[in-house]
Structure formats: structure tokens, C-alpha cells
Amino acid sequence: MKTSCVKTFGVLTSGGDAPGLNAAIRAVCRTASVQYGMRAVGIKNGYRGLVKGDMIPLDVSQLSGLLTVGGTILGTSREKPFKNPQPNPETGLLPIEAIKKNYREWNLDALVCIGGNGTNTTASLLAQEGLNVIGLPKTIDNDIMCTDMTFGFHTAVDVATDAIDRLHSTAHSHSRIMVIEVMGHKAGWLALYSGIAGGGDVILIPEIPYDIQSVADKIMERRNAGKNFSIVVVAEGAMSREEALLSKKEFKKLRASMPESIGYRVAHELERATGLESRVTVLGYLQRGGTPSPYDRVLATQFGTQAAHFLARGDFGKLVALQNSEIKGVPLSDIAGQVKNIPAGHYMLQTAREVGTCLGD
């Protein structure tokens, strides 16, 4: 058995679920146990469980069969203990005080926090409070800084691409514009990758504010060339050029007042601009659920095994990241509160343009 400076650690999953969470839990706990003899404590429902002390011992026997299972055996929540903290009316403790109390009472030497931007931002704040923390990058949006890829992303691309493939036949049969709305509130990675993979004629992403007339012109160009249908892939955070000029507060107010999501608005706009029939499919939570792809199983396992090694050598305050095909540790403070948007000159944007895809500009 190898030596380790950590004897007992807690593991939690926080934020939206994503394929590969169970694979990551399995990898970090099995490696920590088999290689170093560490004990694992499962924290239920993300940071909410950490505040409440809702924890269970995890042993290797409980990890069997998890590799292919979607969701998370630990449960999750969007609890943010540092956002507008209020004392517990029963104990009088603030969330961070309760976390530290539970950390001590469960004899934890460290925490492994698996999640997206919000989860790892909170992990960074916990590290600043003196807790030993390691973060793992999970999100179907692929929008965490300092890592080339997050687990969950490839499975979501597979699901979205399969949906686009299926909608092609309906679009062709009925001579329609088919608008497919995918997730991606602040970053358009999922829309861009699935749109290219699915042969989308138009891809609208948050990073490139769209001009509806440019989109309509593309569709009419296809129509005039004898192509009687068009596929429009829209990220949920896509915005028009007019919206891009609004302040953050004004934009949020406008979106809150919309009776339907952005996919429906784009469809209505295109019907008015082209006179062609449009239909909308919002993929929603289908993109987050189900069995992880082989790629995500492997990536989540790589992240989890390396997290165990980080624990053993006391390399805390780090995000386990993928950079140029290597697993590295990145300070959590470097990624906290940030979003990895698609850069203006990214090669995937150029790839889309070179095959004739309209990006709305």
C-alpha cells in the first residue's frame, strides 16, 4: 500500500447532473482505497449535504457497476453556501461554519468536489477558508476554464447530434425549417460541435450575436438552389445583435419576459422573414441524462484516478484538468467565477464557415 497524507476524504457532486459523474466517483474512491487505503465519505446532494452533515461512508462494494450508470448515486443540488449566507435558525451557524463543523466531525482530511463552474468556484472559496479541496470538471457545456475538455460534453454532443440526424428526415419530408434548441446558456460549444456533426445549415451561439436577416438570406439561398429544408441549431443563450447591446440587467429582464424559449423566437422570426413553415424541438434535459459515452467514461475515470493521487500527495486547491492530452493540476483560483467562451478565431468556427454553415453574422 502506498503512503498518503490523506486518510479520509469526502466526495460530492454539485450543480446539474451530467453523464460520467458516477464514473468519476467510482474512479477516485477505488483508486484511493486500492492504492492508498483511504476511506471515502459520500456527501449527499452537493453542498447542501455538506452544510447539513448528510453523509454516508462509501466502500468499494458500493461502487460496483457504476461506470456505465448515468446520474449520480450521491444526488446533487445547486446549493451555493457563500451566496447570501443566512444562519441556520436552529443552530445559529452560518453555512461555512456548519461546513467546517461537519468537516471536523466526520474526520475529513480533504474534499473532492465534482461539478461545473459554480461548483468549482465554491470549491475555490472553501480552499480560501482553509479546507483541503480538489475539483473535478464536469459539465455538458464544456465551459470551464483551463481544461480542454469536461466530462459530460461528448455524451451531450452525441445525444444532440442524434436528434439533429433524426430531424433531418422530418425537415426534408415536410419542406420545413427545423429549429433545434440545445443547452449552452453562456457558451456555445455544444451547439457548435453538434451543429457541425449533424450538418446544421445555421448555428447560433452566444458568442456571435445573430442578424435574423442574415439567417433568412441563408435559408432562401438554399431554397433557391433547390434545397427545400433547413436545419437551424440554436444554443439556449443565443442572442440577437440588438440584445448584445443591452446591459446584463436589461438582457435578463428581456429574456424573463419572453413567453417561450429562444428556439421558438428564432422560428417565429424566420417564418416572418421567409414565409416558410418552421417547427421547433427543444432537447432540454435529454442532453444531460442517460448512459455516458465511452469517451466520457474514460475521461471521468482519468480525472478520478488522478484526483486520488492529488489527495495522496497533498496537492490541494487544484482543479484536475486536461491540457494537451495530459492531466494537470490548475489552481482553483484561476478558474473561479469564469466562463470558457468560444474564442473569436477558434478553428471550429472556421471549420463551420468553410463548409458553408451560417453563424448568423
Q: Each residue of 4-44: pLDDT tens digit? A: 999 999 999 999 999 999 999 999 999 999 999 999 999 99
Residue 289 pLDDT: 87
Residue 193 has pLDDT above 90, yes or no: yes
Of 241, 238, 236, the residue nearest 281 (C-alpha) = 236
Model confidence over 137-175: pLDDT tens digits?
A: 999 999 999 999 999 999 999 999 999 999 988 888 887
Residue 237 pLDDT: 96
Contact between 120 and 332 under an 8 Å Cβ cutoff? The reply is yes
Residue 101 has pLDDT above 90, yes or no: yes
Residue 84 has pLDDT above 90, yes or no: no
Q: What percent of the chain has pLDDT over 90?
A: 88
Backbone angles phi, psi at 4, to 5 degrees: -145, 140
Average pLDDT over residues 213-230: 94
Q: Which of 17, 54, 109, 141 is catalytic?
A: 141
Residue 175 pLDDT: 79
217 pLDDT band, cuts 50/70/90, is very high
Residue-averaged pLDDT of the chain? 95
141 catalytic per annotation? yes
Amino acid letter for position 166? R
Interatomic CA distance for residues 303 and 287, integer angstroms: 22
Average pLDDT over residues 264-281: 95
Model confidence over 282-308: pLDDT tens digits?
A: 999 999 888 999 999 999 999 999 999
Taking the CA atoms of 329, 308, 149 and 234 in sequence, report the sign of the dihedral they define. negative
Residue 227 pLDDT: 92
